[in-house]
């Protein structure tokens, strides 16, 4: 590796050394408690797939270039030089980690491996070794955001075509538009993904609740976060913040996308509006009696997969369970669940990159979890998890359907005054 390149990478490394990161890198006792907490290791017991190994890859560089010990007595801490081979190791560590943070739950010090992997991802970007598809998707997302003024009319026309489909789920709209755009002073700005599956059920639910809402022109997914690029993450999130501020909405509700929710809710600091996941909005409507669900309209045993970024890392844990308690008498929990839930294996950008072989092998523990409860439906509230779970049930030939929670709620919508549904 050229000395200038190394210098540049180490400058990037240094830029990430804040209070928390320094303590994370200084503290590990290598007790190994985190080893078995990683779903990849649980599925494929190789140490390179353990949290401690991944963190050590970065920690060895930290010791070598930022600590006295690594400079004076290199071999003592197994410090490592930043070489081209090391960059390959960094890639393997960064992109075998989904950033689910289950290891952080088990670590006696609470070391955040995802945070440490943010250094790995930054080094890969600086060295031009990041997955190009993620860079491309992040750039496209930013470009699309810049060109909104020109594409607004087309977008509005495309959304108008969803009218019949939304009305087939719920017979009326709250306002004139079935899927309203640009509504000033709306209560909710709903940020969807590219795809009607993310818009139609949500529109039906909010219309059923009589909500004054508006659909965002921007898609929620944040490829900058998957890529590990803080600037692009901020740029992608900022356009939604700007739109919400312009419309003076009270609340921004993020569709079923765990990472988009976590970025907006927990990563962007104080905002002039409330940030919720759409799952929270549904639970609130049910609690307030603004919507009711036809109990057991959806037949069969249902289980729920907690998306890591929504549950363990986002705090949306009991809301989906409350929703199921209103929807069905045949709900069963996978074990473990909630904070301890196994990651599906699709996070951290792995679904977007592809990596199907790795994802399927690392998803074995999730497949076992599903098989153990023999559900007819596996529900979830995250696009990445949905894609990964769909691949998993196909790969492991599990006889079950994977469905979005919002889609199931929309299908179960019932008017308490006029129970006959159109």
Contacting positions for other proteins (CB under 8 A): 16-24, 26-33, 35-37, 47, 50, 52-53, 56, 67-69, 75-78, 99, 101, 104-112, 114-115, 118, 224-225, 228, 230, 233-234, 237, 259, 263, 266-270, 311-315, 317, 338-339
- DSSP code at position 54: H
Backbone angles phi, psi at 286, to 5 degrees: -65, -45
Q: Look at residue 4 and give its three-state secondary structure.
A: helix
> In whole angstroms, how close is the CB of 61 to other proteins at the nearest point?
13
> In whole angstroms, how close is the CB of 212 to other proteins at the nearest point?
25
Distance CA 152, CA 161 (A): 14
> In whole angstroms, how close is the CB of 160 to other proteins at the nearest point?
34
Query: How far are the Cα atoms of 154, 285, 295 from residue 326, in angstroms, in the given order?
Result: 38, 12, 7
Name the residue nearer to other proteins (CB basis): 170 or 223: 223
Distance CA 264, CA 260 (A): 6
Give one DSSP letter per residue of 209-244, joined into a string: TT--EEE-SS----HHHHHT-HHHHHHHHHHHHHHH
Name the residue nearer to other proteins (CB basis): 57 or 370: 57
Q: What is the CB neighbour count within 10 angstroms for residue 225?
A: 27
Distance CA 115, CA 124 (A): 15
Q: For CA atoms 264, 267, 270, 276, give the dihedral sign.
A: positive
**Alpha-carbon torsion, ordered 227, 228, 229, 231, to 10 deg:** 120
> In whole angstroms, how close is the CB of 18 to other proteins at the nearest point?
4
> In whole angstroms, how close is the CB of 73 to other proteins at the nearest point?
9
Of 145, 198, 206, nearest to 180 by C-alpha is: 206
Backbone angles phi, psi at 407, to 5 degrees: -65, -40
**Alpha-carbon torsion, ordered 64, 65, 69, 72, to 10 deg:** 90
Distance CA 103, CA 109 (A): 11
Give one DSSP letter per residue of 332-398, joined into a string: ---SS-GGGPPP-S-TTTHHHH--HHHHHHHTHHHHHHHHHH--SEEEES-HHHHHHHHHHHHHTT-
> In whole angstroms, how close is the CB of 348 to other proteins at the nearest point?
10
């Amino acid at each position: 590796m050229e000395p200038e390149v190394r210098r540049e990478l180490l400058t990037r490394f240094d830029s990430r050394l804040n209070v928390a990161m320094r303590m994370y890198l200084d503290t590990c006792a290598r007790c190994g408690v985190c080893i078995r907490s990683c779903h990849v290791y649980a599925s494929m017991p190789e140490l390179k797939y353990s949290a401690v190994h991944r963190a050590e890859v970065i920690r060895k560089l930290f010791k070598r270039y930022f600590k006295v010990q690594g400079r004076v007595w290199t071999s003592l801490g197994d410090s490592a030089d930043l070489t081209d081979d090391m960059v390959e190791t960094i890639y393997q560590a960064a992109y075998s980690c989904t950033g689910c943070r289950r290891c952080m739950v088990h670590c006696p010090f609470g070391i955040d491996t995802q945070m440490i992997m943010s250094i790995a991802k930054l080094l890969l970007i600086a060295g031009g070794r990041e997955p190009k598809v993620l860079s491309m998707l992040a750039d496209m997302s930013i470009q699309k955001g810049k060109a909104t003024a020109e594409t607004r009319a087309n977008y509005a026309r495309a959304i108008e075509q969803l009218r019949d489909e939304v009305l087939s789920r719920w017979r009326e709209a709250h306002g004139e538009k079935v899927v309203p755009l640009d509504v000033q002073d709306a209560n909710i700005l709903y940020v969807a993904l590219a795809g009607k599956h993310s818009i139609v059920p949500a529109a039906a639910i909010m219309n059923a609740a009589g909500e004054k809402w508006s659909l965002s022109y921007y898609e929620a997914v944040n490829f900058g976060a998957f890529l590990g690029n803080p600037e692009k993450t901020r740029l992608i999130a900022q356009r939604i913040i700007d739109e919400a501020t312009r419309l003076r909405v009270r609340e921004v509700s993020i569709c079923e996308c765990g990472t988009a929710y976590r970025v907006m809710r927990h990563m962007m600091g104080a905002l002039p509006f409330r940030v919720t996941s759409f799952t929270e909005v549904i639970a609130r409507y049910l609690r307030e009696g603004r919507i009711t669900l036809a109990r057991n309209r959806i037949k069969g045993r249902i289980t729920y997969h907690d998306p890591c970024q929504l549950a363990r890392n986002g705090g949306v844990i009991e809301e989906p369970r409350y929703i199921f308690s209103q929807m069905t008498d045949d709900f069963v929990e996978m074990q473990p669940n909630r904070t301890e839930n196994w990651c599906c294996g699709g996070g951290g950008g792995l679904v977007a990159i592809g990596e199907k072989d790795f994802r399927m092998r690392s998803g074995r523990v999730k497949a076992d979890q599903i098989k153990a409860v023999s559900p007819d439906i596996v529900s979830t509230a995250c696009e990445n998890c949905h894609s990964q779970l769909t691949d998993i049930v196909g790969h492991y030939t599990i006889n079950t359907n994977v469905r979005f929670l919002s889609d199931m709620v929309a299908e179960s919508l019932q008017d308490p005054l006029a129970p006959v549904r159109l």
